[in-house]
Structure 1
Amino acid sequence: MNDPGGETFEQQAYITRFLLDYTAVPLAGGTFLRGVLPARDAVRVVTGAVDAVAPHELVAYEVPLSDEDEEPVTAPLVLGWTRTLASGPLPETDATVMSMPLVPVDTTVLEPADSTRTDQALRLLRTLAWPFIESPPSPALCGFLFTGQDRMRLYLAGEMADGLIAADVQLTGALTALLAALPSLVDEEERWVTDTFDPHCAYSVDLTTW
């Protein structure tokens, strides 16, 4: 993924922040959020069972970042569209990304699901706990994907790279130390590896043994 511009990264980071709760709260039935993949002019919302990590257990829905009037879409709309899709049968698709089925979403004809009481409660509590900020933290978290039972890939907008850095991290271990060092680690060019399998990043960095 080439650098699409700072405004796109900020919108992807905003959507990612908004959706994070749905890794623990179901979107619909037994379907949870398993990732948000930052694509050019879109986000790919990955859904599956609460502990799903294998590509055949996941589905990626590609939601454009702007509507038919070229206005930026809001995170609550992305949530509503995803919930509508997650509540029904899997649409037919021949497209894949990272071995997952990829479903392009036509937001001009898809009705977003109504917000739930849980959505409203989370929105209230989130706003009070994490007040709105004009710019996301640095490095901005523009997406993520569960890649194992104790592993995650983070898509970060670093200071040095022309595009996103995908940092592979382990969820068990010294997380406090890793979080403190992460901004500098992702900007160390000697750690960068070109990732030909993942189209959502310019480079990847393996921090699973850091």
Structure 2
Amino acid sequence: MPELDQRVSGLCGETVEQQAYLTRFLLDYTVMPLVGRTFLRGVLPTREAVRIVTGAADAETARELVAYEIPLSDDDDEPVTAPLVLGWTRALASGGLPRPDGSVMGMALVRVDTADVEPAPPARTDRALRVLRTLAWPFVETPPNPALCGFLFTGPDSMRLYLAVEEADGLIAADVRLTGALTALLAALPALVGEKERWVADKADPHCVHAVDLTTW
């Protein structure tokens, strides 16, 4: 399959806000299955779409994952909602794997025509989460900075975070470990990803303009 590597840069504010909103909404499905034994393993931000990465909870290689590319807007050019993205992803993950259009970062990539997919209805847990999120995590006018626009599990003890850093004119991919001094790392993260001397190119990842390795910080 051809590797699709059009790099994302210069994302507009509205796109960043939507990517961050979708990421926040879907986080629970990293620990709760989307369907059967299929979990959310990543949300990859692109310019006009979001790539929802699915696979088993213990998947360790890219070959075990599937990325579904879903447009950020509908036929009326209105932003798609997170519950709708969840419904489409759940419907796709519960059926047989469609023919991939290519690959990205070693994962099979399926470009989704949402007109051909009937979204799965909300589950009882989805409705419960909606109530709990609204009460425990209400909307605030001042979002976190930098905004978390995506993530990808890269190993049993590591993940890649996609952060919107204004000085970068795009997204910074920060590689972190999930053990160690997490409290200190999270407190320092906004400053660390803004340090240009840490920025390196990652030609294998089209979802960022620079990468930062914080796995040994």
Q: Common fold, TM-score beyond 0.5?
A: yes
Q: Secondary structure at the match of 1:167?
A: strand
Using the size of structure 2 for normalisation, the TM-score is 0.95
Separation of aligned partners in 1, 2:141 and 2:51: 23
Separation of aligned partners in 2, 1:109 and 1:94: 16
2:49 to 42, 46, 52: 42
Greater mean alpha carbon deviation, residues 14-23 or residues 1-10: 1-10
2:81 to 45, 68, 74: 74
Structure 2 match to 1:189:
196
Separation of aligned partners in 2, 1:136 and 1:32: 27
Q: What is the CA-CA distance between 1:123 and the residue it aligns to? A: 1.2
**Are 2:100 and 1:93 aligned?**
yes
**Are 2:118 and 1:111 aligned?**
yes
Where in structure 2 are there 5+ consecutive unaligned residues? 1-7
Whether the 8 Å contact between 1:169 and 1:208 is mirrored in structure 2 is yes
- Report the AA paired with residue 168 of structure 2: A
**Could you report, residue by residue, the CA deviation over 1:36-86 in whole angstroms, capped at 9, with x for unpaired residues?**
000111110000001213111100000100000000000000000000001
Using the size of structure 1 for normalisation, the TM-score is 0.98
Greater mean alpha carbon deviation, residues 102-111 or residues 64-73: 102-111
Equivalences, count = 210
Whether the 8 Å contact between 1:33 and 1:45 is mirrored in structure 2 is yes
Separation of aligned partners in 2, 1:134 and 1:20: 20
**Are 2:66 and 1:59 aligned?**
yes
Where in structure 1 are there 5+ consecutive unaligned residues? none
Separation of aligned partners in 2, 1:183 and 1:104: 33
Separation of aligned partners in 1, 2:146 and 2:33: 28
Structure 2 match to 1:84:
91
1:208 to 193, 207, 215: 215
Q: Secondary structure at the match of 1:115?
A: coil
- Report the AA paired with residue 159 of structure 1: E
Q: Alignment identity in percent? A: 73
Whether the 8 Å contact between 1:10 and 1:135 is mirrored in structure 2 is no
Q: RMSD between aligned alpha carbons?
A: 0.8
Question: Where in structure 1 do 4 or more consecutive aligned residues deviate above 2 Å?
Answer: 133-136
Whether the 8 Å contact between 2:11 and 2:169 is mirrored in structure 1 is no
Separation of aligned partners in 2, 1:185 and 1:46: 27
Separation of aligned partners in 1, 2:209 and 2:122: 35
Whether the 8 Å contact between 2:163 and 2:173 is mirrored in structure 1 is yes
Q: What is the CA-CA distance between 1:187 and the residue it aligns to? A: 0.4
**Could you report, residue by residue, the CA deviation over 1:8-53 in whole angstroms, capped at 9, with x for unpaired residues?**
0100000000000000110000000000000111110000001213
